[in-house]
C-alpha cells in the first residue's frame, strides 16, 4: 500500500503541474467554444457550478484517484477480453485532467491546436460516461463492479456530487453528443482504431486534414440492439440525479471508456507502475503495431448520394413551410365571424384612394396575415386591408422656376459664357479658378489745360502765370494757414496768461506746461510769420504780374486773353488797426525779450560756473608758479610750456539783450511780411471779363498765331499696357488753350494693369507732336463714383519755334525790349482725368483679386487725403499711425485732419471698437490642436515653407528633419539677419563699407529682377516640356547635313588624326553629385620663364653678398665645388608642371622640362554643384573658377654629408609658382568647351626667374615675338557629360522683355528685329546685338550706351606728355574695376547692361560694362573707338574695344587692360561680328570673322552692313549715359586701413593653411617688399623686376627667396585669399622657412582699388 500511497502523491503533483501548464491555453479555447455550443441550456447554471467546482476540487481529485484505482482493478480483469480497449495517450490524458478542472465551460467544438473538436467532444463524452459508470459502481447494481475493493466506495457522497456536476455538463454536451446520436457511436474497435490513429498523429501536434475529414465523415455504425439493451439497463440502474436519456443510452460504452481512461493514466505513470503496468505498456506497444496496419480505407464505405424524392421533400416541406396561395380570400374569413362586411364608401363616407397594389400580391399578403394570430386586426370592416390613401399627388407642388434672372439666388447664379480661345498671356490675371469675367477700368479724361503752349503769345504766358498765382492765392486763402496760426498763437497766449494768472503756486506740472506752451508759441510764431510772409509775397507777385499784363497789353495794343484782375480794397478803421498792430508787436517783443532773458540767464549761469573754474585754476597756477620758482630753474621751461598749453581762457560774461534792438527787429520783419497798419486790405479777384481784341484788329503776327491756334487739333490716345485701347475725339484748341474732352472710357481688361498712359497728340497742319502722360494705376479702393478728378501735370521737351507771335517751346524769349532776362518755357499743362475701377450694376467692383504689382507706382493722390496717401492697403497698423499722430502733434482742430483724427480715435480706443465682422469658423479656436504661436513657431514648417518659396538660402535644401528639435536655430539666423538689416551695413564681412553697400544694392537689383522674371520662368512653353529630336530629312534644309554624313562614310579612316566628336547633350535634371566631371587637357606651354642661373646664386650670395655690388643678372659665376650637389638641378632652365585646382580639388600634370614644355595630359576633376542642385539656373550661377597654375619644380639636394653622395639620394622638391590662368566655370558651362592658347598671368616680378629666351636663337619664329608678351598655355577644357547650357531660358526672357517694356520707338524695334533676322540667316554663328537690357529690365538700343565720357582728371594728369602712357593708364583703370559676370549675378536671367555711371557706382560688371566704359573714355580722349561684339577666349561672347591709332587698329581687352595689334597671333578675340559706335551698328558681312582677316573699314557696305543707312537714317537717339561722370576721390586713409586689414587677414590665413608647421614672418623682408610695391604700381607692373630683385638680394643676402607680387582689383576679400592660396606659397615644407607678405592698396578715383600682394618664402642658406 505504501507504493500506492506514493503513487497517489505523484499523480496528484503531476496533475497539478499539468493543470497549471495547460489551464491558460485551454481556458481561452473553451471560452470560444462556448458560443457555438450553447444551444440548449445549462448556461445558466454555469456560475453556480463554478463555485461548486472550486469547493469540490480537492474532493474530485481524491475521488478520481479512488475511482481510478477501482477501475484499474476492474480493467485488469477486462484486459483479457477487450485488448483493443487498451489505448489512449498522454495528450488525451492531459486533456481529460484539464477538462476535469474546467468543466464549467462547455466543450470545444472547434479544432483546437492540440486536439480536434471531435476528439475533444469524444473525450468529454468518455469522461461523462466514466462518471456514470462510477455512480453505477457505487450503487453496486452492476455485477462487474462487484469485485471493487470496499475502501474505494466509501466516499459516496463526494462521488455523487461529482456526478451531479458532471451530468450538468452533459446537458450542454447534448448537442455534440446529439450529433453523434444518429450515427451512433459504433463499434468500439473502430473507434479505438481511429483514436489510436489520432494519437499517433497528435504526437506531432495536430491531426492531418485528411484524418480530420475521415473522423468527421466516418459513419460509426450504430448498434441499435446493444444501445437498446444498455438503455434498458440504464433505466434499471436509475441514475441518482437527472441524466438525459441520451446519456444513458451511451452509458454502456462509457464503461469501456472509463477503462480507457484509467489505462491512459496508467500509461502516464508507466515508469513507476509495477508489473501489470509494464504489461500495459506492452499492450500499448501492441496497439501501436496494430495501428500501423490500419488505413483510412478500412473505415470507409462508399455509398451513393442520398436522394430524397421530390414528393417526399414536398411532404416534408409542407410540414414546416407555409406557402400562401394567390387565391382570393373569402371576405368572411377576414372579418370577425359574426359581422357583415361594411362598406364605408357606400355609406357615403369619404375614403381615400388606395395605393395600387396588384391583386395577387394583395391575396398573398392577406393569406399570410390571416395565418398569424390576431391576423384579423389588419383588416378593416369592409374586409380589406387597412390602407392609407395614395400619397402620390397628381399635381406638382414644387413651384416651377419661371425666370432665371428674377428669383435666382445670386450665390447660385450662372451666366452663359461663350466658348472662346484662351489667351496665351502669362500676365493673365485670373488664376486657374478665377475666370469670373472681366475687370474694368474707367478712365475719365475730362480735359487738358495748358500752362504753357508753343502758341502762347507773351500775354498768354503772363496770363497763365497770373492764373497760376491766383489759383495758389485761392488755395492759400482757403486753407488760411496764417489765420489759423495766429488764432493758435492767441489761444496759446491766453493759456499762458491764464496759467500765470491762476497758478501762482509753482507746481511742477504747471511749470512744465508753461515751458511747453512757450516753446509751442515760439514755433507757432515762426510758422505764422512764414505763412504771413508767403501770403504777402504772393499778393505782391500777383499785383506785379497783373501790372506786367497791363503794360504788355498797352505795349502791343491788343488784348489776347480775357484775364482781368480786380483788387478790392477794404477800408478799415485806421486807428483800431494801428493799435492792434502795435499791440501785436509789443506782445511779440515781450515774448522775445522773455526768451532772450531766459537765454541770458542760462548763459549767465554757465558763465558763472566757468568763471569759478577759471578762478580756481588761476589760483592753482599761481601756487605752482611759486613752487616752481623755488625749485630748479631748468624745469621751469617745461612747466611753463605745459601751463601755457593748459591755458584756461577767461570766460566772457554774456551780454544783455538790447530792448530797442529787439523791437527794431520785430518791426522790420513785420513790415516785410505784413500789411502796414492802416493800409486797406487788398483782395484780388480774377475774372475772365476782359474783351479780347478781334482778330482783324491785331497785327499780322498775332493774326497768324490765332489762325494757327484754330488750325491745331488735339486728341488723346489711351495706352494700356503699351497697347492703344482707345482715343478721344479730336478737339480744336480753343483760344484759351483749354480743351474739354469729357469722355469716359471703359476699359475691360484681362491683363494685369502695368501702365496706363495717355498720349496727347497735337496736330497742327502737317506736323504733330506727342506728349505722354503716365497715369497711376488706381488703388483697389478707388471706385468709379468715388474717384476724384486728378490733375496730372505733363510737359514736353520738344523745341518748337514760330515765325509769328507764338513764343514757342524750349526756345528762349524775353519780355524785355533789350532781350535780357531770358526765359525758356517748355510745353506743359495739366491733364484732368481720373482712373478708377468700375462697379457693376449690382455694386460689385470689377477689381482683380490682388493687386500686388503696384509697388513703385507713384501716386498722385497724395495731397488728397492722408489715409489715401498712406494707401488703404498699407494702413494696417493703426497703433503706429496713432503714435505718429501723437508725435507729430497733429492739430485736432485742423479740419484737414478731422478724418484722420477720427480714425485714430477709434483705433486708440481699442477694445471698445465694435468689429464689423463675424467669424466664419466659429468653433475653430476650441478645436485647435495647438495655439497659433506654437503652430507658427514650428521650425520644420518654416523650413519647408521657405524651401518651397525658393528663398536663396533654403533653395534645394535636402531632407528637412522630421522633428523640430533636429533643426538648429542657426539655420534661420542668417536669413533673419538678412531680412532684418537690409539697410544697415555689415562691415565685418566686407572690408570696405562701400563694397558692402554695392553688394547689398546688387542683391536688391537681383531680387527685383528675379521677381520680375519669376512669373515668366514658371510659364512653360511646349519646348520646355516636350523634347522632340528633329528627324533628319533629305528633302528639307538638313539635306546638306545628310549629304555630308554620307560623304563621311566614304572618307578614308585616319586614326592618326583624331577629331573631337560631338557629344550628346545631357539635360541637367537627372544629374547628381559625381556625375559631372571637368576635363582639362593641358597641351603645352610657350615661353615659360626660366630660372636665372638658379641655385648658384643664393650659394654665391651667402658668401659674397656684402662684397659684390654687381647685379645678379650679369653675374655668371660657375658653381663652386662645395655646391656641386646642385649641379643637376641646374642643368635645365625650368621644370614646369601644371596644377589645376577647382573647388579645392587639385590635380597636377607630370613635370616637363624646358621653356616650351609639352604635357598633353588630361586631368579629370569632379564637379559639385551648389546644394546638389543641377538645374540650369543653378549651374549658371556657379561662381567657382578653374585655376590653372604653372609651377616650376625645383629639386634641392639636402644631403648633409658629402660622403654619402655615392649611395644616398636625399633631395627636397620645391615648387615655385610661375603664373596662372583663371577660367570661370560659368564660361566653360556656357561655351561647353574651351579650346585655345591662353596667356599665363605671370607676376611682373618673379624672383629668380626671367623671361629671357636663352634658346631663342634655336628657333627662328619665336624670336619674332617681343619679350614682353609673356607666356602662353594651350588648353582644352570641357565638361563631361555635355551639359545643355541654359540658353533656352535666356531667349525666352528676351522674348518676354520684348513684350514687357521698352521706351524705344516701335519702328526702331521692328527694324532691329528685321535686321537681326536678316543677318542671322546669313551668319547664324555671328552675334548681332542691337537691343540690350538695361538694369531696370527695359530694352535699350545699344548705341545709346556709347558716348564720350571723360576719364578722371587725375589719370589724365598723370602723364601730361606721354599720350600713350595715359591711354594705358586709362585702360588699366578700367581693368581694375572688379569683374562680375552677369550670369552669376543674374543667374538664369539675362545679360544686363549698366550705364557707365551705374557701373562706377556698382563697381562690378562684366565685359560689356568694361568695354563700354573704356570705349567712352577713348572717345573722350579723342580717339576713334568702337565697341566690338565678338567672341573671345576664354570669355566666350564678349565685347572688346577697337581703336584706330597711327594707321593701325588696336584691340583692347577692357577687363585686363591689355591691348593687341590687329595682327597679333595671340589676341584672345577670336571673331568679330559687330561694331558699335555712338550712332550706328555695323554687322560683319565679310567672309571671315577672325580679327586678322577682317577689314575694319566700316564705310564699305559690302563688308559691314550698317543698321542705320540711308533708308533708315539715325534718328538721333539720345544717350542713356549721364552728361558727365562724377568721380569721388578715394579716401587714402581708408585705403591704408584696408591694406592693413588685408595683410592681417592674409597672414592669418597662411598660418591657418599651415596647421602642422610654424609660420615665421620675416619682418625685414616684409618691410622691403612693402617699399617695393608702390613702385610696381607706378610702373603698372612694368619691367622693374631686375633692379628690384637685385636690391632684394642685396638686402637679404643670406636667404634664398622665392616670391612674386600679385596684382588684383579689389572687390571682396575672398578672391584675394583664393588667389594667394592658389599660388601654393604656403605649401613649402622646408624647415626653417620664413615668409614675407606685403600688401599695398593703391587708390584710384571713385574707390577703384588696385591691390598688390607680395608673397615670398625665404630659406636661409647655409
Partner 1 sequence: MAELHIIGQIVGASGFPHKSLFCKWGLQTGCAWKLLSGLREGQTQVDNPVIQDMAYWSHPIDVHYATKGLQGWPKLYMQVWHQDSFGRNELCGYGFCHIPSSPGTHDIQCVTWRPLGTWQEQLSQMFVGGGPQLKHSDLIYTGADRYRLQTMAMGKVHLQLSIILRNFDQYGVEY
For partner 1, the binding residues (CB under 8 A) are: 401, 404, 408-422, 431-437, 920-921, 923-924, 927-932, 934-935, 938, 941, 944-945, 947-948
Task: Using the minimum distance from each CB to partner 1, give the nearer residue, 332 or 931.
Answer: 931
Minimum separation from the CB atom of position 421 to partner 1 (A): 5
Query: Which residue number, 471 or 925, has a Cβ lying nearer to partner 1?
Result: 925
| CB nearer to partner 1: pick between 1020 and 1128 | 1020
The nearer residue to partner 1, 414 or 988, going by C-beta atoms, is 414
Half-sphere exposure of 1173 (CA within 13 A, CB side): 19
CB of 1389 to partner 1, least distance (A): 23
Looking at the Cβ atoms of 766 and 1026, the one nearer to partner 1 is 1026
CB 937, min distance to partner 1, A: 9
Measured CA distances, 1361 to 1355, 1357, 1365, 1421 (Å)? 12, 9, 9, 14
How many angstroms separate the CA atoms of 670 and 483, rounded?
A: 15
Look at residue 1358 and give its three-state secondary structure.
helix
Q: Tell me the C-alpha distance between 239 and 251, whole Å.
A: 10
- What does the CA dihedral 1536, 1542, 1547, 1553 come to, rounded to 10 degrees? -170
CB of 1018 to partner 1, least distance (A): 10
Q: Which residues of 8-25 are buried (b: 16+ CB within 10 A; e: fewer)?
A: beebeebbeebbeebeee
Closest distance of CB 1019 from partner 1, Å: 12
Residue 131, phi then psi, degrees to nearest 5: -60, -45
Instruction: For residues 1604 and 890, give the distance between their C-alpha atoms in angstroms, rounded to a whole number.
Output: 68
The rounded distance, in Å, linking the Cα atoms of 111 and 212 is 9
- Rounded CA gap, 246 and 1165, in Å? 96
Residue 413 or 1204 having the CB closest to partner 1 = 413
**Residues belonging to the chain:** 1662
| Cβ-based nearer residue to partner 1, 942 or 1097 | 942
Closest CB to partner 1 among residues 948, 1448: 948
| Cell triple for 944 | 519647408
> At its nearest, how many Å lie between partner 1 and the CB of residue 424?
11
**Least Å from the CB of residue 1079 to partner 1:** 37
When the beta carbons of 189 and 404 are compared against partner 1, the nearer one is 404
Find the shortest distance in angstroms from Cβ 1066 to partner 1: 23
β-sheet bridge partners, residue 1652: 1607, 1640
Q: Which is nearer to partner 1, 816 or 921 (CB)?
A: 921
* CA Rg value for the chain: 58
Distance CA 98, CA 792 (A): 107
- 1026-1056 burial, b at 16+ Cβ within 10 Å, e below that, comes to eeeeeeeeeeeeeeeeeeeeeeeeeeeeeee
The distance of closest approach from Cβ of residue 849 to partner 1 in the complex, given in angstroms and rounded to an integer, is: 12
Closer by beta carbon to partner 1, 410 or else 1324:
410
Burial of residue 706 (number of CB atoms within 10 Å: 0-12, 13-18, 19+)? buried
Quick one: cell of 220? 460509426
Closest approach of partner 1 to the CB of residue 918, in Å: 14
CA distances from residue 1313 to 1291, 1331, 1345, 1502 in whole angstroms, order as listed: 14, 9, 19, 21
What is the nearest approach in angstroms of partner 1 to the Cβ of residue 405? 9
Q: How far is the CB of 432 from partner 1 (least distance, A)?
A: 4
Please, what is the minimum distance in Å from the beta carbon of residue 913 to partner 1? 22
Q: Is the dihedral of CA 603, 605, 606, 610 positive or negative?
A: positive
Q: What are phi and psi of 1141, to 5 degrees?
A: -125, 135
414 vs 1632, beta carbon nearer partner 1? 414
User: Nearest distance from residue 1176's CB to partner 1, in Å?
Assistant: 21
Provide DSSP, 1474-1520. EEE-SS-EEEE-SS--SGGG----TT-TTTEEESS-SSS----PPPS
Q: CA distances (Å), 272 to each of 6, 8, 10, 562, 1498, in order?
A: 10, 11, 9, 147, 128
Q: Which is nearer to partner 1, 497 or 937 (CB)?
A: 937
Rounded distance, CA 644 to CA 635, Å?
14
CB of 843 to partner 1, least distance (A): 14
Q: How many CB atoms lie within 10 A of CB 456?
A: 27
Peptide bond connecting 219 to the previous residue in cis, omega within 30 degrees of 0: no
Give the nearest distance from C-beta 1616 to partner 1 in angstroms.
40
Please identify, using beta-carbon distances, which residue of 623 and 934 lies nearer to partner 1: 934
| Min dist. Cβ of residue 1025 to partner 1 (A) | 8
User: Nearer to partner 1 by C-beta: 394 or 922?
Assistant: 922
C-alpha cell of 1245? Answer: 616680378
User: Among residues 637 and 932, whose Cβ is nearest to partner 1?
Assistant: 932
Evaluate whether 162 touches 131 at the Cβ level (below 8 Å).
yes
Minimal distance, residue 399 CB to partner 1, in Å: 12
Residue among 311 and 927 whose Cβ is closer to partner 1: 927
Q: Which is nearer to partner 1, 346 or 926 (CB)?
A: 926
Return d(Cα 123, Cα 1598) in angstroms, integer.
114
Angle of helix 188-202 relative to helix 90-101, nearest 10 degrees, comes to 100
Q: What is the C-alpha separation between 858 and 1490, in angstroms, rounded?
A: 50
Q: Which residues neighbour 146 within 8 Å (Cβ) at sequence distance 6 or greater? A: 140
CB atoms within 10 A of CB 382: 17
**Owner of C-alpha cell 447554471:** 45
Amino acid at each position: 500500500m505504501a507504493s500506492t500511497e506514493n503513487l497517489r502523491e505523484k499523480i496528484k503533483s503531476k496533475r497539478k503541474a499539468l493543470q497549471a501548464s495547460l489551464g491558460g491555453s485551454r481556458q481561452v479555447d473553451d471560452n470560444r467554444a462556448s458560443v457555438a455550443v450553447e444551444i440548449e441550456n445549462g448556461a445558466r447554471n454555469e456560475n453556480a457550478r463554478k463555485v461548486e467546482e472550486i469547493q469540490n476540487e480537492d474532493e474530485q481529485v481524491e475521488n478520481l484517484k479512488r475511482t481510478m484505482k477501482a477501475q484499474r482493478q476492474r480493467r485488469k480483469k477486462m484486459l483479457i477480453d477487450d485488448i483493443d480497449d487498451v489505448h489512449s495517450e498522454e495528450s488525451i490524458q492531459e486533456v481529460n485532467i484539464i477538462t476535469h478542472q474546467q468543466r464549467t465551460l462547455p466543450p470545444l467544438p472547434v479544432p483546437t491546436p492540440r486536439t480536434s473538436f471531435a476528439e475533444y467532444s469524444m473525450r468529454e463524452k468518455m469522461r461523462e460516461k466514466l462518471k456514470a459508470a462510477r455512480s453505477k459502481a457505487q450503487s453496486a447494481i452492476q455485477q462487474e463492479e462487484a469485485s471493487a475493493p470496499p475502501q474505494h466506495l466509501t466516499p459516496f457522497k463526494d462521488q455523487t456530487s461529482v456526478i451531479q456536476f458532471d451530468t450538468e455538463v452533459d446537458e450542454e454536451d447534448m448537442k455534440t453528443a446529439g450529433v453523434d446520436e444518429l450515427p451512433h457511436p459504433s463499434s468500439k474497435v473502430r473507434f479505438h482504431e481511429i483514436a489510436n490513429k489520432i494519437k499517433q498523429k497528435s504526437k506531432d501536434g495536430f491531426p492531418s486534414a485528411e484524418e480530420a475529414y475521415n473522423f468527421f465523415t466516418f459513419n460509426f455504425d450504430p448498434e441499435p440492439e446493444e444501445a437498446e439493451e444498455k438503455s434498458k439497463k440504464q433505466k434499471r440502474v436509475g441514475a441518482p440525479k437527472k441524466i438525459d436519456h441520451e446519456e444513458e443510452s451511451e452509458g454502456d460504452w462509457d464503461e469501456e471508456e472509463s477503462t480507457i481512461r484509467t489505462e491512459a493514466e496508467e500509461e502516464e505513470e508507466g515508469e513507476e507502475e509495477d508489473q501489470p503496468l509494464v504489461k500495459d505498456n506492452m499492450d500499448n506497444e501492441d496497439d501501436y503495431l496494430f495501428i500501423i496496419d490500419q488505413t483510412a480505407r478500412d473505415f470507409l464505405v462508399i455509398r451513393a448520394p442520398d436522394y430524397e424524392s421530390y414528393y417526399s421533400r414536398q411532404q416534408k416541406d409542407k410540414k414546416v413551410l407555409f406557402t400562401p396561395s394567390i387565391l382570393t380570400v373569402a371576405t368572411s374569413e377576414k372579418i370577425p365571424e359574426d359581422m357583415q362586411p361594411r362598406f364605408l364608401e357606400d355609406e357615403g363616407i369619404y375614403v381615400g384612394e388606395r395605393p395600387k397594389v396588384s391583386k395577387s400580391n394583395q391575396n398573398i399578403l392577406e393569406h399570410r396575415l390571416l395565418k398569424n394570430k390576431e391576423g384579423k386586426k389588419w383588416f378593416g370592416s369592409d374586409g380589406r386591408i387597412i390602407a392609407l390613401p395614395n400619397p402620390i399627388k397628381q399635381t406638382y407642388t414644387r413651384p416651377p422656376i419661371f425666370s432665371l434672372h428674377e428669383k435666382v439666388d445670386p450665390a447660385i447664379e450662372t451666366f452663359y459664357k461663350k466658348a472662346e480661345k484662351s489667351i496665351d498671356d502669362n500676365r493673365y490675371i485670373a488664376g486657374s479658378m478665377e475666370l469670373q469675367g472681366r475687370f474694368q477700368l474707367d478712365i475719365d479724361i475730362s480735359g487738358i489745360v495748358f500752362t504753357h503752349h508753343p502758341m502762347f503769345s507773351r500775354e498768354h504766358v503772363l496770363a497763365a502765370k497770373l492764373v497760376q498765382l491766383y489759383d495758389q492765392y485761392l488755395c492759400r486763402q482757403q486753407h488760411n494757414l496764417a489765420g489759423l496760426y495766429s488764432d493758435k498763437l492767441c489761444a496759446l497766449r491766453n493759456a499762458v496768461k491764464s496759467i500765470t494768472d491762476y497758478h501762482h503756486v509753482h507746481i511742477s506740472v504747471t511749470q512744465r506746461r508753461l515751458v511747453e506752451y512757450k516753446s509751442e508759441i515760439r514755433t507757432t510764431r515762426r510758422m505764422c510769420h512764414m505763412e504771413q510772409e508767403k501770403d504777402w509775397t504772393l499778393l505782391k507777385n500777383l499785383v506785379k504780374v497783373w501790372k506786367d499784363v497791363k503794360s504788355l497789353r498797352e505795349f502791343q495794343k491788343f488784348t489776347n486773353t480775357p484775364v482781368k484782375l480786380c483788387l478790392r480794397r477794404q477800408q478799415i478803421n485806421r486807428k483800431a488797426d494801428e493799435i492792434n498792430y502795435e499791440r501785436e508787436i509789443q506782445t511779440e517783443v515781450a515774448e522775445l525779450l522773455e526768451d532772450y532773458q531766459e537765454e541770458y540767464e542760462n548763459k549767465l549761469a554757465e558763465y558763472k560756473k566757468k568763471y569759478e573754474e577759471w578762478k580756481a585754476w588761476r589760483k592753482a597756477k599761481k601756487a605752482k608758479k611759486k613752487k616752481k620758482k623755488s625749485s630748479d630753474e631748468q624745469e621751469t621751461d617745461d612747466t611753463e610750456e605745459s601751463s601755457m598749453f593748459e591755458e584756461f581762457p577767461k570766460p566772457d560774461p554774456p551780454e544783455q539783450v538790447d530792448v530797442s534792438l529787439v523791437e527794431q527787429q520785430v518791426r522790420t520783419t513785420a513790415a516785410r511780411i505784413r500789411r502796414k497798419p492802416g493800409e486797406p486790405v487788398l483782395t484780388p479777384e480774377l475774372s475772365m471779363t476782359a474783351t479780347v481784341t478781334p482778330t482783324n484788329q491785331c497785327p499780322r503776327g498775332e493774326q497768324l498765331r490765332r489762325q494757327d491756334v484754330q488750325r491745331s487739333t488735339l486728341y488723346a490716345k489711351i495706352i494700356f499696357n503699351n497697347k492703344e485701347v482707345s482715343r478721344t475725339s479730336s478737339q480744336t484748341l480753343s483760344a484759351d488753350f483749354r480743351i474739354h474732352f469729357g469722355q469716359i472710357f471703359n476699359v475691360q481688361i484681362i491683363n494685369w494693369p502695368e501702365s496706363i498712359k495717355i498720349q496727347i497728340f497735337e496736330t497742327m497742319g502737317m506736323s504733330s507732336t506727342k506728349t505722354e502722360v503716365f497715369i497711376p494705376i488706381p488703388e483697389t479702393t478707388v471706385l468709379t463714383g468715388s474717384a476724384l478728378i486728378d490733375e496730372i501735370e505733363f510737359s514736353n521737351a520738344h523745341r518748337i519755334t514760330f515765325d509769328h507771335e507764338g513764343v514757342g517751346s524750349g526756345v528762349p524769349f524775353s519780355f524785355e525790349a533789350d532781350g535780357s532776362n531770358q526765359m525758356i518755357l517748355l510745353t506743359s499743362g495739366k491733364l484732368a482725368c481720373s482712373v478708377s475701377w468700375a462697379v457693376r450694376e449690382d455694386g460689385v467692383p470689377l477689381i482683380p483679386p490682388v493687386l500686388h504689382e503696384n509697388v513703385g507706382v507713384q501716386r498722385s493722390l497724395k495731397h488728397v487725403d492722408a489715409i489715401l496717401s498712406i494707401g488703404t492697403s498699407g494702413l494696417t497698423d493703426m497703433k503706429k499711425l496713432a503714435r505718429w499722430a501723437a508725435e507729430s502733434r497733429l492739430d485736432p482742430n485742423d479740419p484737414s485732419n478731422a478724418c484722420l483724427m477720427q480714425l485714430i480715435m477709434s483705433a486708440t480706443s481699442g477694445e471698445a471698437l465694435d468689429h464689423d465682422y463675424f467669424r466664419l469658423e466659429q468653433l475653430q479656436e476650441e478645436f485647435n490642436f495647438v495655439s497659433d504661436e506654437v503652430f507658427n513657431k514650428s521650425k520644420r514648417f518654416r523650413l519647408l515653407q521657405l524651401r518651397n518659396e525658393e528663398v536663396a538660402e533654403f533653395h534645394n535644401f535636402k531632407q528637412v528633419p522630421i522633428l523640430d528639435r533636429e533643426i538648429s536655430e542657426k539655420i534661420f539666423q542668417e536669413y533673419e539677419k538678412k531680412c532684418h538689416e537690409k539697410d544697415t551695413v555689415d562691415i565685418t564681412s566686407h572690408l570696405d563699407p562701400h563694397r558692402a553697400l554695392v553688394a547689398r544694392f546688387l542683391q536688391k537689383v537681383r531680387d527685383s529682377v528675379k521677381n520680375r522674371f519669376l512669373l515668366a520662368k514658371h510659364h512653360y512653353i511646349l519646348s520646355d516640356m516636350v523634347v522632340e529630336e528633329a528627324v533628319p530629312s533629305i528633302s528639307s534644309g538638313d539635306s546638306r547635313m545628310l549629304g555630308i554624313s554620307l560623304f563621311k562614310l566614304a572618307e578614308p579612316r585616319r586614326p592618326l588624326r583624331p577629331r573631337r566628336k560631338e557629344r550628346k547633350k545631357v539635360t541637367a535634371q537627372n544629374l547628381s553629385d559625381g556625375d559631372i566631371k571637368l576635363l582639362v587637357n593641358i597641351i603645352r606651354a610657350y615661353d615659360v620663364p626660366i630660372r636665372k642661373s638658379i641655385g648658384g646664386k643664393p650659394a654665391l650670395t651667402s658668401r659674397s653678398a656684402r662684397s659684390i655690388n654687381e647685379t645678379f643678372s650679369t653675374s655668371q659665376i660657375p658653381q663652386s665645388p662645395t655646391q656641386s650637389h646642385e649641379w643637376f638641378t641646374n642643368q635645365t632652365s625650368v621644370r614646369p608642371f601644371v596644377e589645376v585646382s577647382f573647388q579645392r580639388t587639385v590635380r597636377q600634370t607630370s613635370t616637363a622640362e624646358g621653356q616650351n614644355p609639352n604635357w598633353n595630359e588630361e586631368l579629370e576633376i569632379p564637379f559639385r554643384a551648389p546644394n546638389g542642385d543641377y538645374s540650369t539656373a543653378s549651374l549658371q550661377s556657379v561662381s567657382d573658377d578653374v585655376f590653372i597654375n604653372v609651377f616650376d619644380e625645383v629639386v634641392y639636394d639636402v644631403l648633409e654629408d658629402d660622403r654619402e653622395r655615392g649611395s644616398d639620394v636625399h633631395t627636397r622638391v620645391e615648387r615655385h609658382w610661375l603664373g596662372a590662368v583663371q577660367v570661370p566655370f560659368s564660361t566653360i558651362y556656357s561655351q561647353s568647351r574651351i579650346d585655345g592658347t591662353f596667356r599665363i598671368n605671370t607676376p611682373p616680378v618673379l624672383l629668380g626667374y626671367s623671361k629671357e629666351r636663352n634658346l631663342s636663337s634655336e628657333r627662328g619664329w619665336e624670336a619674332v615675338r617681343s619679350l614682353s608678351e609673356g607666356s602662353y598655355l594651350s588648353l582644352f577644357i570641357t565638361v563631361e557629360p555635355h551639359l545643355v547650357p541654359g540658353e533656352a531660358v535666356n531667349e525666352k526672357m528676351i522674348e518676354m522683355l520684348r513684350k514687357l517694356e521698352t521706351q524705344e520707338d516701335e519702328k526702331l524695334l521692328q527694324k532691329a528685329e528685321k535686321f537681326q533676322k536678316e543677318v542671322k540667316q546669313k551668319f547664324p554663328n555671328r552675334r548681332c546685338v542691337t537691343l540690350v537690357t538695361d538694369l531696370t529690365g527695359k530694352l535699350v538700343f545699344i548705341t545709346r550706351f556709347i558716348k564720350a565720357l571723360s576719364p578722371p582728371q587725375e589719370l589724365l594728369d598723370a602723364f601730361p606728355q606721354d599720350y600713350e602712357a595715359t591711354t594705358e593708364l586709362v585702360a588699366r583703370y578700367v581693368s581694375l574695376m572688379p569683374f562680375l559676370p552677369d550670369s552669376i549675378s543674374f543667374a538664369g536671367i539675362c545679360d544686363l547692361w549698366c550705364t557707365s555711371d551705374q557701373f562706377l557706382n556698382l563697381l562690378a560688371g562684366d565685359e560689356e560694362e568694361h568695354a563700354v566704359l573704356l570705349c567712352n573714355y577713348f572717345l573722350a580722349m579723342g580717339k576713334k573707338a568702337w565697341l566690338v561684339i565678338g567672341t573671345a577666349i576664354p570669355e566666350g561672347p564678349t565685347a572688346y574695344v577697337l581703336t584706330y591709332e597711327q594707321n593701325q587698329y588696336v584691340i583692347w581687352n577692357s577687363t585686363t587692360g591689355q591691348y593687341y595689334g590687329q595682327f597679333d597671333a595671340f589676341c584672345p578675340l577670336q571673331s568679330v561680328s559687330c561694331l558699335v559706335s555712338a550712332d550706328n551698328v555695323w554687322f560683319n558681312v565679310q567672309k571671315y570673322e577672325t580679327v586678322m582677316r577682317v577689314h575694319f573699314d566700316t564705310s564699305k557696305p559690302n563688308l559691314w552692313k550698317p543698321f542705320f543707312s540711308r533708308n533708315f537714317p539715325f534718328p538721333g537717339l539720345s544717350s542713356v549715359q549721364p552728361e558727365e561722370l562724377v568721380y569721388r576721390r578715394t579716401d587714402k586713409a581708408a585705403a591704408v586701413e584696408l591694406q592693413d586689414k588685408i595683410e592681417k587677414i592674409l597672414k592669418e590665413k597662411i598660418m591657418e593653411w599651415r596647421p602642422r608647421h610654424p609660420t615665421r614672418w620675416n619682418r625685414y623682408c616684409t618691410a622691403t617688399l612693402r617699399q617695393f610695391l608702390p613702385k610696381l604700381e607706378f610702373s603698372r607692373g612694368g619691367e622693374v623686376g631686375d633692379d628690384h630683385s637685385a636690391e632684394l638680394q642685396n638686402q637679404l643676402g643670406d636667404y634664398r627667396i622665392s616670391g612674386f607680387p600679385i596684382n588684383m582689383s579689389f572687390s571682396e576679400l575672398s578672391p584675394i585669399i583664393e588667389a594667394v592660396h592658389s599660388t601654393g606659397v604656403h605649401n613649402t615644407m622646408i624647415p626653417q622657412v620664413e615668409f614675407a607678405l606685403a600688401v599695398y592698396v593703391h587708390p584710384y578715383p571713385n574707390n577703384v582699388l588696385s591691390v598688390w600682394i607680395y608673397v615670398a618664402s625665404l630659406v636661409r642658406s647655409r
